Amino acid sequence: MFSILIGLLLAFFDYNLVVFEQMKIEDERSQEKIVLSGLELDNETCLSAVSIKNKGTIEVRIRAIYVANSTTTTLLCDPSTYMDTHIAPDISLNMSLPTGISFEPDAKIIVATERGVKTKEYEALLVFGPPKPEWEYDPTKLYIGPLMLQFDAFWYRRTRGDGTLDPNDPWHPGWSIPKGFGYCAWNITIMNIDDRNITINRFSTFNVVPNDSPSNQLPWYLEPTNQTGLTQFLPVNETRNIIYIWADPKEPSGTNRPQKMTLPECTCMVFLTFFGVFHEHDGTTTTYAQTIPFEAAITVVG
Amino acid sequence: MTTLKIHSNCRALSPIFATLIILAIVTVLFIPVFVWSTGLTAETKSFWHISGEIATERIVIEEVNLRGGIQNCTIYVRNIGKTAIIVDDVFISSPDGSLNIYEKADFNTEPDSVVQGDLMTITVSDLGGFNPVGNMTYTVKVFTSRGVGDTYQVVA
């Protein structure tokens, strides 16, 4: 009777032991996480190696690599048969692949561990990276059109009554200007990002519009770099400074007066308006116009 | 008149024989109890053993190659439990609810049995009357000889 009881107890404890072992396996499995981090090509047509990173908290062993395309899912290999595929946590491993496996951008690479945890990714994403968004927001480069404004390169400076720049006053950052500053010029930095050269004319303006009283807006007209044609040439892919000085479009006679900052303490929006022509590749010109709103306002301070 | 006289110093059986007879009776009576109890023990031990094997039998379907218009199917099954496995049944259910059952004779397994960590390739070379349709989702189930299974959904 005693031996029978012993046998029963042993069987029961043996059962408990195996259940505990299985729970341990499940626990280890839940700690596994792998990601595909790269795919190498040998001559842009065949796969040569795959990189796998262990993102889990336990060591893994890679046991299978598959390729799935639109027509079939194939077991490529068990890399553990020709190399050590144990990967410690937070470590990457580069595993060579059998030769002759064609690169198919739309196919998926699937990697599985010994505990049956998988990861999969498209081959194209691993080789070329994720697609970049078509437009990345950059508040320093806000533009809709061929001229791109650099918002961090924006200044003002005192002018004399005849419109010439005051040599005793340097350029100040343009985001705030003292109230009653008087005659001043604005200097902005733009880049022609079109594939055609542009010539802007004397009607291009720098408009300051008070938020509280938009009708009191003040325009500053272009100071042309070409004093003969009263224009400014903006070549492709080059950065240029544009200076605005005048209260009216620059006249050939040079009788203009400069614009004066007369606004009270306020916050203002700024709009840049450009008029001119595109120089087409065939030598002709076409009309060009563009408005650039500033991302932030300038402030007239006391 | 006859008088019955009992002789107090005369015994029918000796103490030795009496003890032997008692032992024999007890032994004979204990035989069925012994047989019953040992059988019960063996059954209990067997129950715990099988329960342990089932508890530690665990498979994972890693990948399934099932494509529309193709009359065969390959299933990759990994044993992640302590117990060696033998696959007995494969079920493929269609989106419309129809179930296709493939028994041991209908497919090949390579190898026949796998231990922990190893991969088994199940090849159903002929799906019979079942014709998978492209871009439809099918559910594949694989069961071992002890009834342990796993499920995988695949887009044909």
Residue B6 has pLDDT above 60, yes or no: no
Q: Which residue has the higher pLDDT, B55 or A205?
A: A205
Same domain, A121 and A150: no
Domain-terminating residue out of A73, A96, A128? A128
Q: Does A161 touch chain B (CB under 8 A)?
A: no
Contact A68 B56 (CB under 8 A): no
Same domain for A92 and A232, yes or no, is: no
Rg (CA), chain B: 32
CATH number for the domain including A181? 2.60.40
Which tokens belong to A241? 């400074």
Q: Tell me the C-alpha distance between B137 and B88, whole Å.
A: 23
Domain co-membership, A98 together with A162: no
Alpha-carbon gap: B106 to the closest alpha carbon of chain A (Å): 21
Q: What is the mean pLDDT of chain B?
A: 85
Which residue matches tokens 């595993």? A95
Mean pLDDT of B63-86: 89
Angle, helix A2-30 to helix B15-55, in steps of 10 degrees = 10
| A chain contacts of residue B44, beta-carbon cutoff 8 Å | 8, 11
Check A18 against B62: CB less than 8 A apart.
no
Q: Which domain holds residue B49?
A: 13-55
Q: Is residue A6 part of a domain?
A: no
Contacts of A280 (CB under 8 A, 6+ apart): A196, A286
Tell whether A15 is within 8 A of chain B (Cβ). Answer: yes
* Interface size between A and B, measured as CB pairs under 8 A: 84
Number of domains in chain B: 2
CATH, residue B134:
2.60.40
The residue range of the domain holding A96 is 33-128
Residue ending a domain, choose from B55, B71, B86: B55
In a domain, B95, yes or no: yes
Note the pLDDT of residue B112: 87
Which 33-62 residues of chain A touch chain B by CB within 8 A?
61
Question: What percent of chain A shows pLDDT beyond 90?
Answer: 19
Number of structural domains chain A divides into:
2
Kindly state whether residue A12 falls inside one of the protein's structural domains: no
Q: What is the average per-residue pLDDT within A59-76? A: 89
Span A196-203, average pLDDT: 92
Q: Is ipTM beyond 0.95?
A: no
Average pLDDT score over chain A: 85
According to the per-residue pLDDT averaged within each range, which of A9-13, A66-70, B37-41 is highest? A66-70
Q: Which residue of chain B has the CA closest to A74?
A: B65
Residue in chain A lying closest to B75 (CA): A73
C-alpha to C-alpha distance for B69 and B154, rounded to whole angstroms: 14
Q: Does A86 touch chain B (CB under 8 A)?
A: no
| Tens-place pLDDT, residues A207-223 | 888 888 888 888 999 99
Among A36-40, A197-201, A260-264, the range of highest mean pLDDT: A197-201
Position A302 pLDDT exceeds 70:
no
Listed residues A77, A100, A128: the one ending a domain: A128
Asked whether residue A301 carries a pLDDT value surpassing 90, the answer given is no
Same domain, B126 and B82: yes
**B74/A73 CB distance under 8 A:** yes
pLDDT in tens, A262-288: 888 888 888 888 999 999 988 889 898
Q: Write the pLDDT tens digit of every residue in A73-118.
A: 888 889 988 888 899 988 888 888 888 888 888 889 999 999 889 9
In B, minimum Cα distance to A5 occurs at: B41
- What pLDDT sits at residue A70? 82
Least confident window among A124-128, A203-207, B8-12, B137-141: B8-12
Q: For residue B146, what is the DSSP state?
A: T
| Amino acid in the structure at residue A212 | D
DSSP annotation of A165: B
A18 close contact with B: CB closer than 8 A: yes
φ, ψ for residue A10, nearest 5 deg: -60, -45
Q: Please name the member of A1, A68, A112 whose beta carbon is closest to the beta carbon of B78.
A: A112
Question: Do B28 and B74 reside in the same domain of the chain?
Answer: no
Instruction: Grade residue B51 by pLDDT with cuts at 50, 70 and 90.
Output: confident
How many angstroms separate the most distant Cα atoms in chain B?
A: 116
Percent of chain A with pLDDT over 70: 93
CA-based nearest residue in chain B for residue A13: B48
Q: Is the pLDDT of residue A129 over 80?
A: no
Domain end: A97, A128, A159, which one? A128
Give pLDDT, residue A258. 92
The answer to whether residues A199 and A248 belong to one domain is yes
- How much is the pLDDT for B117? 86
pLDDT category at B61 given cuts 50, 70, 90 is very high
pTM of the model: 0.56
Q: Write down the pLDDT at residue A113.
A: 92
Residue A21, domain member (yes or no): no
